[in-house]
Amino acid sequence: MEGSRTGLPGDYSGRLDLQSADESLRRRVATERLRAHIELVATSSPFYRERFSRLGLKPENLRSLEDLKRFPLTTKDDLNRFNDDFLAAPPESIADVCLTSATTGTPTRLLQTASDLSRLAYNEEIAFAMAGIGPGDTVLVSAAADRCFMAGLAYFLGGVSLGCRMVRCGSGSPAQIWELIRVTTPTVLVGVPSLLLKTALFATEAGFEPSRYGIKKLLAIGEAIRSPDLKLLPAAARNEELWGAPIHSTYASSEMATTFAECGHRCGGHLRPELIHLEILGDNGEPVGPGEPGEVVVTPLGVTGMPLLRYRTGDIATLITDPCPCGRTTPRIGPVAGRKDQMLKYRGTTLFPGTLLGAVEGTPGVAGGYVEALLNPDGTDRVILHLAAEMSGAVPEAGIRELLRARARVIPEINWITPEQYHEISTGSGKRKRILFIDSRGKQ
Ligand SMILES: [Zn+2]
C-alpha cells in the first residue's frame, strides 16, 4: 500500500489499517521489515556494528521472527552511555536535537534527520486521524516543544500535515492554558490528563463552564487513563465530565518515535506495523501471551538518525489481540500499568504506584499525590500514599480508603500533605515530568 506524502507505506488519514488474515504472510512481511532494519543498523550504527561483531551476529541470521531473540536488547543506559555511537547518519544531515531524561544526570541526545522529522509528522498525523481529528480542527497542544522535547514538536508537525490549525500552548500552568483556550477556541486539547483536569478545575473555580467552550475531544499523553480492564480511571472520567468531551489515550516516547493511538472505539492503542515492531517480554526474555503483562520492547522502523533495535522501554503493558470493532486487524497495546523499576511487592501482590494514584485521583477533594516506597525490617516493601487535599481541613479519608479497596484492591498507609508540599515534591518547576514515585528503599 502506497499512499502518504512522506513516501512511507501504509495507512493515511484514518484509512483502515488491515493486516492479512494469513498469519504466515504477516510474519514474513514483519521479518522482511526487521531484516532491512537490522541491515541498516549493522552497516551504519557504530554501536550495533560493534555489538554484532562481538556476538558474531549478521543480518542474515534473522530468517524468521523467532530469530529476533538472538539479537541483543538495547537499554536506556546503553543509549545514554554510548550515545555518540548510536549516530547512523552523517553529522551534517542532523536537523533536530531531541533530549530525553536519563538516570545518570546527563540527558540522552536523540539526533533526528529531516527524514526522521517527516516520519514523525506522518506518525502523528495518522495518530490524530485515528482518534477522529481532522482538517478543520483547532488543536491546542499543552506539551513542551521547546527545551529539546520531542512530543510538542511531533504534535505540531503531525497536526500541520493533517490540515489542522495548531495552538502551541506548551506546558503552561492551568491559568495560562485556560487563557489560551478562551482566546483561540480549540476543538481538541492534547495534554497530560492530570494537567487537563487541573485546568478544568481552575476554570470551574473561576466561574466558567469548560464544557461550553466547544472542546470536542481530549487526547491524553504521558499518563494512563484506563485500568488494565480498559475502564476509565476516575481522573479521566472527571475530565470527560468537566470538558464535555471524550478522552482518547495515546502511548508514545521519544525513543519509540511512534504513537500507539486509540481509535473511536477506545479499547487500546493500535500498533502501526510499518512504523514499529513490538515485543512484550516476560522476566525470562520470552514473549508473553496476549493479556499477560510484560515489558514493552520496541524496534522503531524507518528512523535514520539514531535507529534502535529491541529497545527496552521499562514500561509494563499487555498486548490485546481481540478484533477491534473499528475493523483494523493490527494488535493493540493496553494501558501502561507502570514502570518495571517501580514495581512494588506489597502483601504478596505486585503493585505499581500508578495503580494507587489512578484509583484516587480525580476524586473531589483530592488535588493529587505521589507514592513512596520504603523498606520494612523484614525486607518487604512499605508503601505510603501521600495525598494532597484540595482544601486544607477537608480530608475525604473514608471515601479514599473505599476507592483504594475497590479499584487497587489494597490500602497502603495514607499520609495527607498540603497542596504546597505536593507541588514542591511532585510538580515543582524545573521538573521535566511530574514525579509519581519516590523510591527510598535503598536509602535507609
Ligand atoms: Zn480500533
Q: Residue 35: is it exposed, middle or buried by C-beta count within 10 angstroms (0-12/13-18/19+)? A: middle
Q: Residue 377: is it exposed, middle or buried by C-beta count within 10 angstroms (0-12/13-18/19+)? A: exposed
* Residue 432: per-residue pLDDT: 62
Give me ligand 1 centre to Cα 188, in Å: 20
Check whether 15 has a pLDDT greater than 60.
no
Give me ligand 1 centre to Cα 314, in Å: 25
Give me ligand 1 centre to Cα 326, in Å: 4
Q: Which one-letter amino acid corresponds to residue 52?
A: F
Query: What's the whole-number mean pLDDT along residues 130-134?
Result: 93
Confidence of residue 174 (pLDDT cuts 50, 70, 90): very high
Give me ligand 1 centre to Cα 159, in Å: 21
Handedness of CA 371, 403, 349, 286 (dihedral sign): negative
Check whether 22 has a pLDDT greater than 80.
no
The answer to whether the beta carbons of residues 73 and 312 sit under 8 Å apart is yes
Non-local CB neighbours of 232 within 8 Å, separated by 6+ positions:
225, 226, 240, 247
Give me ligand 1 centre to Cα 9, in Å: 19
Give me ligand 1 centre to Cα 174, in Å: 32
Q: Where are the alpha helices (DSSP H) in 92-192?
A: 114-130, 151-162, 174-184
* Residue 125: per-residue pLDDT: 94
Give me ligand 1 centre to Cα 263, in Å: 5
* Residue 10: per-residue pLDDT: 42
What average pLDDT is seen over the chain? 90
Check whether 92 has a pLDDT greater than 80.
yes
Determine the distance from the C-alpha atom of residue 17 to the mean position of all C-alpha atoms in its chain, rounded to a whole number.
21
Cα 69 from Cα 287, distance rounded (Å):
9
Give me ligand 1 centre to Cα 99, in Å: 32
Give me ligand 1 centre to Cα 243, in Å: 24
* Residue 3: per-residue pLDDT: 40
Give me ligand 1 centre to Cα 32, in Å: 25
Higher pLDDT, 12 or 64: 64
Give me ligand 1 centre to Cα 266, in Å: 7
- What's the half-sphere exposure (Cβ side, CA atoms, 13 Å) at 346? 23
Non-local CB neighbours of 176 within 8 Å, separated by 6+ positions:
169
Give me ligand 1 centre to Cα 323, in Å: 8
Higher pLDDT, 349 or 353: 353
Give me ligand 1 centre to Cα 268, in Å: 8
Q: Which helix (H) or strand (E) holds 53?
A: helix 46-55
Confidence of residue 2 (pLDDT cuts 50, 70, 90): very low
Non-local CB neighbours of 306 within 8 Å, separated by 6+ positions:
45, 86, 87, 88, 110, 111, 112
Closest CA to 236 of 228, 226, 221: 226
Check whether 444 has a pLDDT greater than 80.
no
C-alpha R_g of the chain:
22
Give me ligand 1 centre to Cα 303, in Å: 25
Give me ligand 1 centre to Cα 408, in Å: 27
Check whether 120 has a pLDDT greater than 80.
yes
Strand ranges of the sheet holding 338-339, from the earlier edge strand across to the other edge: 276-281, 294-300, 311-317, 338-339
Give me ligand 1 centre to Cα 262, in Å: 7
Q: What angle do CA 230, 27, 334 make, to 5 degrees?
A: 10
* Residue 6: per-residue pLDDT: 40
Give me ligand 1 centre to Cα 264, in Å: 7
Cα 211 from Cα 240, distance rounded (Å):
9
Give me ligand 1 centre to Cα 191, in Å: 21
Phi, psi of 132, rounded to the nearest 5 degrees: 90, 15
Give me ligand 1 centre to Cα 214, in Å: 25
Which residues have C-beta under 5 Å from ligand 1, the single-atom ion? 263, 265, 324, 326, 328
